[in-house]
């Protein structure tokens, strides 16, 4: 028997299916998706001339996985505009641009002179305990100081994870930063040495940010998901939720909620941690318990079509994030029509406001009218919004982004050890191995190569 069943047709499941078909087209494959569409959080909604991203709005091109898959699917990527490099942070009710260079950092009003000097002293900061899984907040305060944590690192945790940096694990959320301190003893020292090495090799070195250019597709991120789903259509079944899996006589049985059972040699769980925990409850109770420890905060996305000229701020950049200490009711705002072309009619801005997250989950669960009122108040204060937008679309994620809490690396190790005792059972989703789309697709490609051998 050589049938492989993938449970979940988000981008992890779709990319795994694509690469399995590429490497071993002779093996029978079945993708089971519980909902009526494939693609997970790569989901674009088009309405009244606006192209709204319900979930992820793009990928960085500094890793090859997503754009490599797109090239194989025959898609043409769309790079973000130069203006998208301008990013802002809320401080004392105003938007202050993040510095883009060392010279700009030395002159920024985002940090006080004392705060900037403290960052420059990072090279002398004490090292951390290598055995300790340190929180992002503790790491940032230790190496960069309180101000830099509050206005640089805290909003980064908000923007990527909608999370609480006091609880997020540095090692799991930002493994490269953890490795740089471990290997070089200082982030500044690491950047200097790596840039020097890169110059000798005739290439540009790393900067302070994540690097890469944000990239999407002309029709939005759904273009990637829909094309992959269409290519796998003969092997894809929608509206097919799975109840459980069992293993008997050397093979797996996948039990659908419809009552159907599918026999197979391999099962890959490419679904969120909650459904995975339920599916594993009978066949792998330890793995079920471990998956159940993964938490997801709710996030509500409010997309607004704003007539040009009705805001005091020109909205000519990526957008802004609101640090926790500023006590705002929103996480941040993306100026989507400034980031990518063809996201709105010519005389409108399309902006996307994020509400909720790990620190204010109740705000994400407000009724539509209440969450809209909250958003409009914030935009009036922060960008000088003068009129009620003519286009309003509200999207809700009750479980938005998996949280890599302190202790997550140990949890992952337990999951991998548990999987090793269940022949033919694998997990590929963003709750282990990295939350980004690039990570998910790279991990799926690696598993496809492993299974093909």
DSSP string covering 22-66: HH-TTS-EEEE-SSSSSSTT--EEEETTEEEESS---EETTSSHH
**DSSP category for residue 150:** I
pLDDT of 224-238, one tens digit each?
Answer: 999 999 999 999 999
Find the helix or strand (DSSP H, E) in which 320 lies: strand 319-321
pLDDT of 68-114, one tens digit each?
Answer: 999 999 999 999 999 999 999 999 999 999 998 888 999 999 999 99
pLDDT attached to residue 206: 61
161 has pLDDT over 70: yes
Residue entry with tokens 């401080």 = 91
Fold of 4-41+64-69+223-294+404-452: FAD/NAD(P)-binding domain (3.50.50)
pLDDT attached to residue 102: 85
209 has pLDDT over 60: no
What is the Cα–Cα distance from 155 to 366, expressed in whole angstroms? 23
pLDDT of 164-202, one tens digit each?
Answer: 999 999 999 999 999 999 999 999 999 899 888 888 887
E strands, 213-275, are 214-216, 236-237, 242-248, 251-256, 261-264, 266-269
Q: Using alpha carbons, select from 45, 47, 38 the residue that is nearest to residue 11.
A: 38
pLDDT of 30-48, one tens digit each?
Answer: 999 999 999 999 999 999 9
pLDDT attached to residue 42: 98
296 has pLDDT over 60: yes
pLDDT attached to residue 207: 56
CATH of domain 297-397: 3.90.660.20
pLDDT attached to residue 205: 61
Beta-carbon count within 10 A of 396 CB: 17
Residue 371 token pair: 């969450």
Residue intervals of the chain classified under CATH 3.50.50.60 are 4-41+64-69+223-294+404-452
What is the Cα–Cα distance from 129 to 143, expressed in whole angstroms? 13
The runs of H, that is alpha helices, within 258-407 are 273-279, 285-291, 336-339, 361-364, 368-382
Residue 183 token pair: 């290997």
Q: Using alpha carbons, select from 377, 354, 232, 339 the residue that is nearest to residue 302.
A: 354
130, with CB counted inside 10 A (0-12, 13-18, 19+), is exposed
What is the Cα–Cα distance from 256 to 315, expressed in whole angstroms? 48
What is the Cα–Cα distance from 392 to 396, expressed in whole angstroms? 13
Residue entry with tokens 């989950």 = 361
Residue intervals of the chain classified under CATH 1.10.3110.10 are 111-200
Q: What share of the chain has pLDDT > 90, as a percent?
A: 91
Beta-carbon count within 10 A of 413 CB: 10
CATH of domain 111-200: 1.10.3110.10
Q: What share of the chain has pLDDT > 70, as a percent?
A: 98
Residue intervals of the chain classified under CATH 3.90.660.20 are 297-397
pLDDT of 380-389, one tens digit each?
Answer: 999 999 999 9
DSSP 3-state of 9:
coil
What is the Cα–Cα distance from 417 to 107, expressed in whole angstroms? 50
Q: Mean pLDDT for the chain?
A: 95
What is the Cα–Cα distance from 382 to 55, expressed in whole angstroms? 23
7, 267 contact by CB (below 8 A): yes
What backbone torsions phi and psi does residue 158 show, to the nearest 5 degrees?
A: -65, -45
pLDDT attached to residue 45: 98
250-259 mean pLDDT: 96
Q: How far is CA 318 from the centre of its chain?
A: 16
């Amino acid at each position: 028997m050589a049938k492989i069943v993938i449970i979940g047709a988000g981008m992890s499941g779709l990319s795994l299916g694509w690469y399995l078909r590429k490497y071993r087209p002779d093996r029978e494959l079945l993708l089971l998706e519980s909902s009526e569409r494939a693609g997970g959080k790569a989901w674009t909604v088009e309405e009244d001339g606006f192209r709204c991203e319900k979930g992820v709005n793009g990928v960085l091109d500094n890793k090859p996985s997503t754009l490599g898959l797109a090239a194989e699917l025959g898609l043409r990527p769309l790079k973000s505009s130069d203006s998208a490099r301008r990013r802002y942070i809320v401080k004392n009710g105003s938007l202050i641009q993040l510095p883009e260079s060392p010279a700009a950092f030395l002159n920024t009003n985002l940090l006080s002179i004392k705060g900037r000097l403290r960052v420059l002293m990072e090279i002398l900061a004490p090292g951390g305990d290598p055995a300790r899984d340190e929180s992002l907040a503790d790491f940032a305060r230790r190496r960069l100081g309180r101000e830099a944590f509050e206005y640089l690192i805290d909003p980064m945790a908000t923007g990527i994870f909608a999370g609480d940096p006091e609880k997020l694990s540095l090692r799991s959320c930002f493994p490269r930063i953890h490795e740089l301190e471990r290997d070089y003893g200082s982030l500044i020292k690491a950047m200097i040495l790596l840039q020097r090495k890169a110059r000798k090799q005739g290439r540009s070195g790393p900067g302070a940010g994540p690097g890469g250019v944000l990239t999407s597709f002309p029709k939005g991120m759904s273009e990637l998901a829909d094309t992959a789903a269409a290519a796998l259509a003969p092997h894809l079944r929608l509206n097919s939720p799975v109840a459980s899996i069992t293993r008997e006589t050397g093979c797996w049985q996948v039990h659908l909620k419809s009552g159907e059972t599918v026999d197979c040699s391999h099962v890959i769980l490419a679904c969120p941690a909650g459904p995975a925990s339920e599916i594993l409850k009978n066949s792998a109770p330890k793995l079920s318990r471990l998956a159940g420890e993964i938490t997801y905060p709710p996030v509500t996305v409010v997309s607004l079509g704003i007539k040009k000229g009705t805001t005091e701020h020109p909205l000519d950049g990526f957008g802004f994030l609101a640090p926790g200490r500023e006590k705002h009711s929103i996480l941040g705002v993306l100026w989507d029509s400034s980031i990518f072309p063809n996201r709105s009619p010519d005389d409108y801005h399309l902006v996307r406001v994020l509400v909720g997250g790990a620190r204010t989950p109740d705000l994400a669960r407000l009724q539509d009218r209440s969450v809209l009122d909250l958003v409009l108040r914030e935009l009036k204060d922060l960008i000088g919004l003068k009129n009620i937008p003519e286009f309003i679309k509200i999207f809700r994620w009750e479980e938005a982004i998996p949280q890599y809490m302190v202790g997550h690396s140990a949890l992952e190790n337990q999951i991998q050890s548990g999987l090793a005792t269940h022949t033919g059972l694998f997990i590929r989703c963003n709750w282990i191995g990295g939350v980004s789309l690039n990570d998910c697709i790279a991990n799926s490609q690696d598993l496809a190569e492993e299974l093909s051998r």
